[in-house]
A = this chain, B = another copy of it.
Amino acid sequence: MDKIQNGWFSEISEFWPGHCFSLEVEKVLHHEKSQYQDILVFKSKSFGNVLVLDGAIQATERDEFSYQEMITHIPLFSHPNPKRVLVVGGGDGGVLREVVKHPLVESVTLCEIDEGVINASKNFLPKMRVGFEHPKVTLFIGDGLEFMRKRKGEFDIIITDSSDPIGPAQGLFERPYYELLKEALAPGGIVCSQAESLWLHLDTIKNLSGFCKELFPHVEYAYTSIPSYPGGSIGFILCSMGGSCKKPVREIASDVQSQMQYYNEEIHKASFVLPQFALNKLNL
């Protein structure tokens, strides 16, 4: 907890050297060293409760909806009939909460390596833990790569809601994982993974999209604005065995839209539009 000084938590990391985001702490709610990582939850003065893994902010109650809605509804609304969904990571439950908003979905499996994250969310992040309470959800505690090796042609959508590629999530940014993802997809399936920031990790994104283009017919990159992530934005790589993910292919029912705080049809489309420096580099 040495990252809290004078009442402020600072997200200093070698993965984004020389700059950081800080939040004023009202109260530390939970701190443990799990088998895999350091888990911290604190109540902040202006961003609600905050989940931190190995010193990196994973979710704040004030802005998590941007990330959770966009990583979920972009692939879900890009698939004509998503019935079986897998979430790798996502132990806070926020992505589950979004997936079950789709009536077409028949089952959602969550594969999280660290049960400590799930418990921290269940105890301190009430807006996200609701995801675990839905009857369509099945939990699996274990390694995402191991889990994936046994699954062939099963899932219409696989969302990888991981932390950064330093620590337990490193393998989730490498080619062997994407080869397993491809095999685990049902025909026409779509993969959507947390894929870092255009401003901070363009080389990581270029590498990731490079090997994905050798594996999948459609590889696209979308991003969203979120104040509590480094650089204020975060992106997603979308790899599809069906069509492009740049536009919703199903109507967004009004009772579903009314539950959204960030996502809508127009922002789905706009999220794929890259600034010129990224377009030049990524060639997507």
Contacts and interface: CB of A to CB of B under 8 A. Distances in A.
Contacts of A199: 63, 225, 227
B19 A47 contact: yes
Contacts of A22: 10, 19-22
A18 interface: yes
Interface in A205-233: 223, 225-233
A261 B274 contact: no
The count of identical subunits is 2
Bin chain A's interface residue count: 35 or more
A260 interface: yes
Interface string A256-270: 010011111011011
Interface stretch (A33-41, A103-111, A112-120, A275-283): A275-283
Nearest to A62: B199
A18 B60 CA distance: 13
A258 to B, nearest CB: 9
A19 B10 contact: no
Contacts of A260: 276
Contacts of A17: 24, 45-46
A244 interface: no
Contact of A264 (B46, B226, B279): B279
A166 interface: no
Contact of A275 (B227, B262, B274): B262
A267 B276 contact: yes
Contacts of A230: 227
Closest 4 CB pairs of A and B: A232-B232, A18-B46, A270-B273, A18-B45
